[in-house]
Copies of this chain bind each other. A is one copy, B any other.
């Protein structure tokens, strides 16, 4: 058994109250006692029991992270950002997976409730009305990362999917591309799907070009979606000169399938990705892509939650800037 403040009290001959004061540096005790207590604590290898503290203070200094079960590599960055900030503020982080598409979310929330987390960070899950209600009922400072509530009823941090895809498409247009495909987006996804499709269309139309249905291939943001897009374009015999992709993975899928068909990137086909995960810059040719600031999302989200805890500050939604990173997969037509 680990030592407790009782043990320290016994050894030093002071009361547990005083030990507690010293350990928490609350002041109001003599120099002598302080030394005595600290020495004893050190000698016994005393370690706070956060569970006991939680019980009496009614706060756990713990933040709950809920992540879906898909394994795109960017979750790592977000979690990094969260944990770094939590660490700085002496908070701990407990992590649960909410299953594919958040199926296990209810259970995740239950766990978080049982652990009495002080705040909640929910990453990249499309919440339905019922789930939203569940979250609100927990009455905890909460922030959504890389997603948002369809009714905006919870604060979030993300980039503007609409603008980012508009920018990507427009960039291709400015490079002289006229037949621009779209690959891998899910139109039923109200957060990361539909708005991006809209951004793509608007960019095309803003240039007085027609949106061609056959140039759009829906999917699920995956590598496979990218491969299938190329397959589809081939079958329809309508190969675009450039493709806007749902993710870096989709872009790599496009490139992979293109390669198999003998199409060269970027000479014959330009490709632009989305996310700027590590695979983007490690690929050959290196992927031109839209960068999402994942680490910052995590860090700022965590900070917002913690500040709402200590300063009772309301959590504000925030749109973070994306960035178009030019590398080697887009070729100008001029």
Contact = CB atoms under 8 A, between A and B. Distances in A.
Interface of A: 1-2, 45, 47-52, 54-55, 58, 60, 62, 69, 71, 73, 75-77, 79-80, 83-84, 87, 92-97, 104, 107, 110-111, 113-116, 137, 223, 249, 252-253, 255-256, 259, 277-279, 281-286
B97 A94 contact: no
Given A94-B92, A94-B95, A259-B284, A114 B47 contact: yes
A23 to B, nearest CB: 12
Contacts of A107: 87
Contacts of A55: 49, 51-52, 55
Nearest to A256: B284
A69 B50 CA distance: 25
A274 to B, nearest CB: 14
A75 B76 CA distance: 8
Contacts of A1: 58
Contact of A94 (B58, B93, B259): B93
A96 B113 CA distance: 20
Q: How many copies altogether?
A: 2
B116 A278 contact: no
A80 B69 contact: yes
Nearest to A47: B113
A35 B55 CA distance: 28
A97 B83 contact: yes
B50 A114 contact: yes
Nearest to A64: B92
A290 to B, nearest CB: 18
Contact of A51 (B45, B116, B252): B116
A54 B50 CA distance: 10
Contacts of A282: 223, 249, 252-253, 256, 279, 283
A50 B115 contact: yes
A53 to B, nearest CB: 9
Contact of A71 (B62, B76, B255): B76
Contact of A96 (B75, B87, B137): B87
A104 B83 CA distance: 13
